[in-house]
Amino acid sequence: MNRRHFLTMGMGLLSSSALLKTAQALESTPVPTAPTIVPAKPSNGGAYTLPSLPYAENALNPVISSETMSYHYGKHHQAYVNKLNELVVGTPFADMPLDMVVAATAKDSQHKAIFNNAAQTWNHNFYWQSLKPNGGGEPPAALKAKLESSFGSVEAAKKALADAAMTQFGSGWAWLVADGDKLKVVQTSNADVPFTNGLKPLLTIDVWEHAYYIDYRNKRADYVNALLDKLINWEFALKNLG
Residue numbers of the domain that contains 193: 141-241
Domain presence at residue 134? no
The reply to whether 215 sits in an annotated binding site is no
The reply to whether 111 sits in an annotated binding site is no
Q: Tens of pLDDT along 119-162?
A: 999 999 999 999 999 999 999 999 999 999 999 999 999 999 99
**Do 97 and 190 fall within a single domain?**
no
Domain presence at residue 60? no
Domain presence at residue 109? yes
- Where on the phi/psi map is residue 195: left (φ > 0), alpha (ψ -120 to 50), or beta? alpha
The reply to whether 179 sits in an annotated binding site is no
Domain presence at residue 146? yes
The answer to whether 103 and 25 are in contact (CB under 8 A) is yes
**What is the SS3 string spanning 60-79?**
CCCCCCHHHHHHHHHHHHHH
Domain count of the chain? Answer: 2
Q: Tens of pLDDT along 41-82?
A: 544 456 899 999 999 999 999 999 999 999 999 999 999 999
What's the CATH code of the domain at 99?
1.10.287.990
**pLDDT, average across residues 194-220:** 98
**Do 177 and 208 fall within a single domain?**
yes
The reply to whether 72 sits in an annotated binding site is yes
**Do 115 and 194 fall within a single domain?**
no
Domain presence at residue 186? yes
Rounded distance between C-alpha atoms, residue 211 and residue 230, angstroms:
16
pLDDT averaged over every residue in the chain: 88
- The reported pLDDT for the residue numbered 191 is 99
